[in-house]
Amino acid sequence: MEYAVVALAAFLGGVLQGVTGFGAGLVLMMALPMLYTVPSAAAVSGIIFLVLSIAMTVQYRESLQPKQIVLPLICCMVLSGSSAYFATVATDQVLIKRAFGFFLILLSIYYLFLHERFGERHMGKAAGALCVVVSGLCDGLFGIGGPLLVVYFLDRFETREARLGSLQLFFSINAVYTTVVRAVAGAFPPNALGIIMLGSASIGVGLVAANAIQSKIDDELLRKITYMLIGACGVLQLFNGLL
């Protein structure tokens, strides 16, 4: 059952990522906390998604602008590393699960009702700094730090390729660091290697499938369905944490 859930979540995440360009990590973190504690789920999800991030970094390597990501990356690494360690060694994992459920509900509301409105605005320095801080904390605590970073980097690059490549480089470096921190803190489950290999293969199959069916799918509808599922999973996590 455990392997089936991981394979299905990774496959669907790969399909969503391939069709919309976003969402593999979200789908993984919707499913994995049903099997593990939130820190363990974030550790497994982080490595599976790291494979995808590295592949996309290589794909856009000629458009990378690493100087643009240095300062926010350092800030994010400090916050995500410390919060990842805290979440892993915390004695009250039920509280972490409740907080994660609440976070998913807020994330669902943001994407369904606020994302397009904020995405069209130029972000000032104060708002940008807040985005980086919140992203670092959320990445460490829950393994999901990308949404606000995507908004932060939206108008900081001249081309789409430069933005995508540099953002994936950001994710890759930060994921390597937080993975080391989580490993030191003991976040990985006993059978992590088999789960990670299966998840990495499944997300690759999902990407291939997405390329084959991309023209036949309404990506906007797929996004909305995914955002509603995120909210539903948040309610389930919050409810389970209260039991």
Q: Residue 162: helix, strand or coil by DSSP?
A: helix
- Summarised one tens digit per residue, pLDDT across range 130-188 is 888 988 988 898 888 877 787 777 777 878 788 888 888 998 999 999 999 999 999 99
Per-residue model confidence (pLDDT) at position 197: 92
pLDDT digits (tens, 9 = 90+) for 54-93: 888 888 888 888 888 999 999 999 999 999 999 999 877 7
Higher-confidence residue of 95 and 76: namely 76
